[in-house]
Amino acid sequence: MPDDIAISLQDVSKKYRLFASTRDRMLEAFNPFRKTYHREFWALRNITCDLPKGRTVGILGVNGSGKSTLLQIVSSVLQPTTGRVQINGKVAALLELGAGFNRELTGRENVILNGTIMGLPWDQIQERMEEIQRFADVGEFFDQPVKTYSSGMFMRVAFATTVHVDPDVLIIDEALAVGDAKFQEKCFRRFRSFQEAGKTILFVTHDRSAIPRYCDLGLLLHQGELIDVGDPARIAELYGQLITFGYIQKPEDVETRDEEPEALGAPADSPDPAHPLPLPPTTAGLWADESGLDRCQQNPTYNRNEVRSGNGQASIVDYLILSSGRTNPDTIRSGSRVELYLKVLFHERVEAPVVGITFTNTEGVIGYAVNTDWMRKRLAPAPRGAIRIYRFTVDLSLANGDWFVTPAVAATSSDICDHRTVMIHLYLSDTRKYEGLARLDTAFDEVEAEVAPPSVAGSRKPPTTS
Hey, where are the domains in the chain?
5-245, 261-429
Residue 282, pLDDT score: 59
Supply the pTM of this predicted model. 0.65
Residue 338, pLDDT score: 94
Which CA distances in Å does 163 have to 74, 126, 140? 17, 15, 21
- Using 70 as the pLDDT threshold, list the residues of the chain that sit under it: 96-100, 174-182, 249-285, 449-466
Three-class secondary structure of residue 7 per DSSP: strand
Residue among 135, 144, 160, 396 nearest 261 (CA)? 396
DSSP E strands in 279-377: the ranges are 307-309, 314-323, 326-327, 332-333, 337-346, 354-361, 366-371
Average model confidence (pLDDT) across the chain: 83
Under DSSP, the state recorded for 193 is H
Which CATH superfamily is 5-245 part of?
P-loop containing nucleotide triphosphate hydrolases (3.40.50.300)
Residue 453, pLDDT score: 62
Instruction: Please count the residues of the chain.
Output: 466
> For the stretch 300-316, what's the b/e string if a residue is b when 16 or more beta carbons lie within 10 angstroms of its beta carbon?
bbbbeebeeebeebbbb
Which CA distances in Å does 146 have to 114, 140, 159, 250, 358? 14, 12, 14, 52, 45
Q: What is the CATH number of domain 261-429?
A: 2.70.50.60
Residue 406, pLDDT score: 96
**pLDDT of 261-295, one tens digit each?**
333 333 334 334 444 445 455 566 677 777 888 99
Residue 80 near residue 260, CB atoms below 8 Å: no
Residue 451, pLDDT score: 62
Residue 277, pLDDT score: 46
Residue 181, pLDDT score: 64
